[in-house]
């Protein structure tokens, strides 16, 4: 399938500033977008895993007050 896209002068100028053709610049943008989506999916998976650990009681949470107290004790030592 062939897709034809009209590019703006600004896009072409940005590509040229990077030493790329508009086509190569567009491919880099697409690759970065795919990479960002994969990273985002990984963070979502990790957040869900951590939430499940909390919900199951596998881990316990520490309040900010306790953390702050520990930090202050370390600084004072």
3-state secondary structure of 20: coil
Residues 6 or more apart whose CB falls under 8 angstroms from that of 7 comprise 22, 26
Residues 37-63: pLDDT tens digits? 888 999 999 999 999 999 999 998 999
Residues 6-48: pLDDT tens digits? 788 999 999 999 999 998 998 898 888 888 888 899 999 999 9
Residues 6 or more apart whose CB falls under 8 angstroms from that of 28 comprise 20
CA distance 34 to 11: 20
CA distance 45 to 19: 37
């Amino acid at each position: 399938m062939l897709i034809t896209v009209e590019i703006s002068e600004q896009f072409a100028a940005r590509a040229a500033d990077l030493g790329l053709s508009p086509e190569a610049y567009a491919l880099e943008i697409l690759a970065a977008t795919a990479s960002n989506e994969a990273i985002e999916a990984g963070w979502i998976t990790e957040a869900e895993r951590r939430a499940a650990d909390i919900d199951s009681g596998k881990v316990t949470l520490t309040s900010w007050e306790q953390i702050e107290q520990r930090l202050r004790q370390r600084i004072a030592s």
